[in-house]
Structure 1
Amino acid sequence: MLLQLAKLQVQPERLTRSWIGTILDQQSEIRSLIDSIPSLGRQAETIAADAWPDAIRRAARETKLPAQRCPPTSAWTLDAALGFDPPDPAPRGKRPQ
């Protein structure tokens, strides 16, 4: 999920319905894991913070943009990431190529 949020941070104009679906699916999966494993929930913020550097490295490779476009530490708290409701993507003809 952090990968998708990092990509959204650097390329919001590239948001697609598929990308939104991935974010929503991952939010649901993470919530289910936290509900199923309460001890995981207590560590989730730390796990997410530790995963951020990998997320921005992967986002940089996928977007072909420099990793420096993302902050070195995540601006997303776990609650914010799980509660994020992605906007609708721009109409197809309006998206830059």
Structure 2
Amino acid sequence: MSMSADFSAWSQLTAQLLRERRWDEIDMEQLIEEVEDLGRSERNSIKSQLSRLLLHLLKWQYQPQRRSDSWLDSINDARTQIEDKIEDSPSLQSYPAEQLDAAYARARRRAANQTGLPLSTFPAVCPYAVADVLDEDFLPDNAS
């Protein structure tokens, strides 16, 4: 059965074949790809949440007059999502630090687009330590 035809059916069949140790009937290449995709999906989720978190921290800092509960909700939700992924996969503990610069570059561009402020308003290098970014009590001060 082709995975592209019905992923759910393919995964159930593959699980059954694994349980029954029917190794020769398993599409090993597809199984390997799917397992690799699972790990990639976890990392992509952290990267996406980190970028969202940084975007809202920048907006919080550089547009204090527009601060809202929805920004706080986004900040807190992104932190929770990252924390949950790391709790589920402790090997990803250092991943936010590894991705901080790339996530910040995306967040910086998005902040400029969403606020209408010039890109140069926002520091070229992430002004926040990763520990602060992930700290549930951290919010940046107003831009000076």
Higher relative contact order (CA 8 A, sep 6+): 1
Q: Aligned pair 1:44/2:96, yes or no?
A: yes
Identify the match of residue 33 of structure 1 among 85, 95, 104: 85
How many angstroms apart in 1 are the aligned matches of 2:136 and 2:125?
18
> Equivalent residue for 1:55?
107
> Equivalent residue for 2:69?
17
How many angstroms apart in 1 are the aligned matches of 2:127 and 2:93?
19
CA RMSD of aligned residues (A): 1.6
SS of the residue aligned with 1:65? coil
CA contact (8 A) 1:3 1:56 kept: yes
TM-score where L is the length of structure 1:
0.80
Structure 1: which 5+ residue stretches go unaligned?
88-97
Q: Aligned pair 1:65/2:109, yes or no?
A: no
- Runs of 4+ in structure 1 deviating by more than 2 angstroms, as ranges, are 84-87
Q: Which string of whole-angstrom CA distances, capped at 9 and with x for unpartnered residues, describes residues 41-63 of structure 1?
A: 12221212221111010000000
Structure 2: which 5+ residue stretches go unaligned?
1-52, 140-144
CA contact (8 A) 2:60 2:71 kept: no
How many angstroms apart in 2 are the aligned matches of 1:69 and 1:14?
16
How many angstroms apart in 2 are the aligned matches of 1:15 and 1:74?
20
State the 1:84 CA deviation. Answer: 4.4
TM-score where L is the length of structure 2:
0.56
Identity over aligned residues, as a percent? 33
Q: Which moved more, 1:19-28 or 1:33-42?
A: 33-42
How many angstroms apart in 2 are the aligned matches of 1:12 and 1:85?
17
How many angstroms apart in 2 are the aligned matches of 1:53 and 1:19?
19
Counterpart amino acid of residue 72 in structure 2? I
Say how many residue pairs are matched: 87
